[in-house]
Amino acid sequence: MHLPIPALGRLRRLAPLLSLPALLAVGCGDDTLIEGSATDGCTTECDTTTTSTTISTTTVSTTSPSTTSPPTSTTSTTDPATTGPVTTTDPTTDPTTDPTWTSTGETTTTDPTTGTSTTTGTTTDPTTGTDTDTDTDTWTGTDTDTGTGTDTGTGTDTGTGTDTDTGSGTDTDTDTGGEELFPPPGEFGDEEFGVQELDLVGSWSLQWDENAPWNSELVIDDLGGFAWRETSDACQKETLATGIIWVENSQIVLHVDTWERQLPFDTEPYVNETFAPPFRLRLGYSLQGSYLALAAPEGIVEAEPYLGRAFTRQSVEGEFLAGEWRGEAELIGVPEGAKEATVIVRDRFIAYLDPEQGVDPEGLGEILHDQVFWMADPPVPGPIVYEGGNWTCLDGCPQPAGATLINGANLHAYGPYAGLQHLMSFASGRAFKRDVPPSCQ
């Protein structure tokens, strides 16, 4: 859905376009993406600052506006006069549990010298529902000792004794770890999304220089396991996240078993609860050659706020890049006392790029980042941020792939992947690069 932008706001946004400074021409070889450093045959020098102003809003409409939501936090926009309410959409996919697959086994052993020991175990496949381990140990024994003795001297001593010891105990241990509360995980390398999943196998570095003071490195193996290591403070601090990963449509899903840093989403002020593993992250992603970008909240990286973007095209306007582009990020977890996982919060990143005003491949635009906590009833809106989205395509805006500047000097790459047209941040610290030597060795 396109946010309404009144004509007054359009005129205000047009002014910076008409006075754009001369852009540095960037040349590039065939089928080579433009990179912020001179590693792939292209060089550009840009001021990477992003302009935005800050205003405050107090209401954001949701699908359940029947009750008053808490005030939203800081909101920034390029044109406060034109800001209107934002309508969010209900999650289209709710986690479900499939408990239909069950495997039951029984083992019985008998020791005639001591009694009977019986162990019964029942297991449900963790990929579909409950993993239950139940052990029952029962021991019953009878020990009888009878003796008679005769001592003849001045008297007779006869002794008879009986000792009976009977014990019975039951020990039951059930440990599921919460895995059964989530839907079954995807199968890495399957027929549906296997090609995209195998494209992700390898080592990815958010810093393109291994000597940077901090780094975020994601390693994905060919079975779908991931290890996400972050280093900071000149290698004095290191945290790790682990789990499994798979692809669903234009998003990656990370089922997190270990997360040693802050939760990527700030949930406690809105739902009075935080979430420890296991939880899931569903993130939009774009893959262009040896570069990977994520649609993710700033907190996905702890050392510095993550400012990368990854969009897929939703609509086409004009001859070049105009239209709506969208990316989403979700946290899926189990609220306290709940019996199944649910969507806790969803972030949306929406770029509205207006059609070019003339023959040159450039135009006005706006980028929206909003947040809704769907766990609450009714849903609670989080902060809303508006960024500038004026765009200027480089090298004549070749199709289907090329590069563009958005909101000043923020370099983005665009091109097709897996049947969709993608637009992604293209700079060190905002996009991952494949096979950079590991940091802090």
Q: Specify whether the CB–CB gap between 63 and 89 falls below 8 A.
A: yes
Place of tokens 């060795």: 441
Residue listed under structure tokens 């790790």: 240
Q: Is the pLDDT reported for residue 126 higher than 60?
A: no
Query: Which token pair is 97?
Result: 């549990």
pLDDT score for 219? 98
pLDDT at 117 over 90: no
Residue 209 has pLDDT above 60, yes or no: yes
The DSSP secondary structure of 373-420, one letter per residue, reads ETTSSS-EE---EEEE--EEESTT--SSSEEEEETTTEEEEEEEETTE
Q: Which amino acid is at 166?
A: T
Q: 133-187 pLDDT, tens per residue?
A: 434 344 434 444 444 444 444 444 444 444 444 444 444 444 445 788 999 999 9
* Lowest mean pLDDT, pick from 50-54, 255-259, 360-364: 50-54
Pick the range with the lowest mean pLDDT from 22-26, 244-248, 280-284.
Answer: 22-26
Instruction: State the pTM of this model.
Output: 0.64
Amino acid in position 361: P
Section 321-343 average pLDDT: 97
Cβ contact 205:263 at 8 Å: no
Determine the pLDDT at residue 179.
82
- Confirm if 285 and 279 have CB atoms less than 8 A apart: no
Of the listed ranges 26-40, 143-157, 327-341, 421-435, the one predicted with least confidence: 26-40
Decide if pLDDT at 385 tops 70: yes
**What would the pLDDT profile of 265-288 be if each residue is shown by its tens digit?**
999 999 999 999 999 999 999 999
Do the beta carbons of residue 311 and residue 329 sit within 8 Å?
A: no
Cα distance between residue 345 and residue 342, in whole Å: 9
Structure tokens that stand for 279 in this block: 């939880």
Q: Return the pLDDT at 61.
A: 37
Query: What does pLDDT average to over the chain?
Result: 73
Helix/strand number for the chain, H first, E second: 3, 23
Q: DSSP label at 179?
A: G
**pLDDT band at residue 91, thresholds of 50, 70 and 90?**
low
**Which residues, other chains included, contact 15 with Cβ-Cβ below 8 Å and sequence gap of 6+?**
none
* Residue 5, SS3 per DSSP: coil
Mean pLDDT of 389-395: 97
For residue 312, which of 331, 335, 285 has the smallest C-alpha distance? 285
* The pLDDT value given to residue 313: 98
